């Protein structure tokens, strides 16, 4: 597709040159473009023409929601909900904003993003920078009231990146859930931020997980599907224990697998370059192997009705197929959008339809592996 190639070979190198070593500024630039596109119907139609491809073979109903295609936008691209509706024109089948935390937070100090062009990957050390639940809710509602789009929209919720006791951390999640639950289609609970204080504690022991889920049961409406976002570096024995705990909480419908990895073994980028950013998790192809293995593990060990959303390294139809064949029902992407632009969505969805037809499959659901 010409628009996809134009972006990859002309626009992207130009943008990378203009914003050399200024990844956050580049992101800001794209978000401002998105905000501008949202205001102008003609620009939105143009974007939709370039990026969106709908076909009945791609649609499925999962957890009571209708997904026109299996590819969603993962957490972290639209942290403060600036492009809630535009995800539709960008070609996504669903999408989430966040991570949102109860209180605003500037994130970690210093350089926090580093592109690794050799690996088409990115090092992230942002530390849950966001405007907090109140300001984000205001921006979210403004967009939601302005027009409605036919794809599910979720919120990704994390705990504010400050030192808190376990109880305070739980209360932090609950505050944000209660602010948004009646207005969003689904809720992602981020239990796996590698760059924030206390980000991983709720998966460390079954007692911690139970305390958190009991609070959701007792203090939230839990009338929307909840998905738990997992750490790809989590030991499998902890994943197994978590699956057992989750079985008791019917509103937790499944898992998003996975967040960023701290493992750098899969990278081709030189150690010298990597040493410039010793902290931070990796997004992109370098996390794919780990997250696909965890998707397969959860599919093998969780009840059949569990929804799995595969995330990590998606930028082609082959990647979507790999994740679904490992056991995912849906997928998400983040880094792929940075390296390939939303025009890639049209290509992936078209290629998926071609693949389904070639294999004689009657819909996308048939790609998901079950035990």
Ligand X SMILES: Cc1cc2nc3c(=O)[nH]c(=O)nc-3n(C[C@H](O)[C@H](O)[C@H](O)COP(=O)(O)O)c2cc1C
Q: Which residues bind ligand X (CB under 6 A)?
A: 74-76, 79, 98-99, 113, 122, 124, 126, 128, 156, 190, 229, 259-260, 283-284, 287, 311-314, 333-336
Tokens of 305: 């009705």
| Cβ distance to ligand X smaller for residue 44 or 129 | 129
Q: How far is CA 55 from CA 4, 346, 350, 353, in A?
A: 20, 11, 8, 8
Helices (H) and strands (E) in the chain, counts: 14, 13
Q: Which is nearer to ligand X, 75 or 342 (CB)?
A: 75
- Measured from the CB of residue 90, what is the shortest distance to ligand X in angstroms? 14
Q: Which residues contact 173 (CB under 8 A, 6 or more apart)?
A: 102, 157, 158, 159, 189, 212, 215, 216
d(CA 338, CA 352): 21
Classify burial at 226, counting beta carbons within 10 Å of its beta carbon; exposed 0-12, middle 13-18, buried 19 or more.
buried
CA-to-CA distance for 43 and 152, rounded, in angstroms? 22
C-beta nearest to ligand X: residue: 76
Phi/psi region, residue 222 (left: phi>0; alpha: psi -120 to 50; beta: rest), is left
Cα 124 to Cα 20, 29, 42, 56, distances in angstroms = 16, 18, 34, 36
For residues 122 and 203, which CB has a smaller minimum distance to ligand X in the complex?
122
What is the CB neighbour count within 10 angstroms for residue 247? 12
- Cβ–Cβ under 8 Å, residues 280 and 195: yes
Is the CB of 294 or the CB of 333 nearer to ligand X? Answer: 333
Nearer CB in complex with ligand X: 143/332: 332
Beta carbon nearer to ligand X, 132 or 336:
336
Residue labelled with tokens 């397969």: 296
Between the CA of residue 62 and those of 5, 69, 124, 278, 292, what are the distances in Å?
33, 11, 31, 39, 20
Which C-beta is closer to ligand X: that of 128 or that of 328?
Answer: 128
Return the number of the residue (53 or 125) whose C-beta is nearest ligand X. Answer: 125
* Cα–Cα distance, 290 to 231 (Å, whole number): 10
For residue 246, which of 293, 200, 201, 213 has the smallest C-alpha distance?
A: 213
Cβ distance to ligand X smaller for residue 107 or 168: 107
Show the CA angle centred on residue 21, arms to residues 131 and 273, nearest 5°: 115
Q: Least distance from C-beta 215 to ligand X, angstroms?
A: 20
């Amino acid at each position: 597709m010409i628009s996809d190639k134009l972006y990859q070979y002309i626009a992207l190198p130009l943008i990378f040159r203009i914003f050399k070593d200024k990844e956050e500024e580049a992101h800001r630039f794209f978000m401002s473009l998105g905000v501008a596109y949202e205001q102008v119907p003609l620009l939105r139609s143009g974007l939709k023409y370039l990026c969106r491809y709908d076909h009945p073979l791609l649609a499925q109903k999962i957890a009571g929601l209708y997904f026109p295609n299996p590819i969603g936008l993962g957490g972290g691209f639209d942290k403060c909900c600036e492009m809630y509706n535009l995800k539709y024109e960008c070609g996504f089948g669903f999408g989430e904003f966040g991570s949102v935390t109860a209180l605003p937070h500037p994130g970690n100090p210093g350089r926090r993003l580093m592109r690794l062009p050799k690996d088409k990957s990115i090092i992230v050390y942002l530390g849950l920078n966001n405007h907090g639940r109140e300001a984000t809710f205001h921006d979210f509602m403004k967009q939601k009231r302005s027009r409605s789009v036919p794809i599910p929209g979720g919120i990704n919720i994390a705990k504010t990146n400050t030192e808190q006791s376990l109880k305070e951390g739980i209360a932090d999640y609950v505050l944000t859930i209660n602010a948004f639950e009646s207005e969003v289609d689904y809720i992602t609970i981020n239990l796996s931020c590698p760059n924030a204080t206390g980000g991983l504690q709720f998966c460390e022991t079954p007692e911690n997980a139970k305390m958190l889920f009991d609070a959701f049961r007792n203090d939230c409406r839990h009338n929307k599907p909840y998905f738990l976002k997992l750490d790809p570096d989590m030991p499998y024995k902890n994943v197994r224990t978590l699956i057992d705990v989750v079985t008791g909480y019917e509103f937790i419908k499944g898992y998003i697998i996975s967040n960023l990895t701290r493992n750098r073994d899969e990278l081709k980028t030189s150690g010298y370059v990597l040493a410039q950013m010793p902290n931070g998790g990796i997004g992109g192809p370098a996390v794919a192997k780990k997250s696909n293995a965890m998707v397969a593990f959860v599919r093998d060990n969780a009840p059949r009705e569990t929804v799995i959303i595969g995330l990590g390294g998606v930028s082609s139809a082959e990647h979507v197929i790999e994740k679904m064949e490992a056991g995912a029902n849906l997928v998400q992407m983040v880094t792929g959008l940075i390296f390939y632009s939303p025009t890639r969505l049209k290509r992936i969805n078209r290629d998926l339809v071609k693949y389904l037809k070639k294999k004689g499959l009657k819909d996308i659901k048939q790609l998901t592996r079950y035990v």
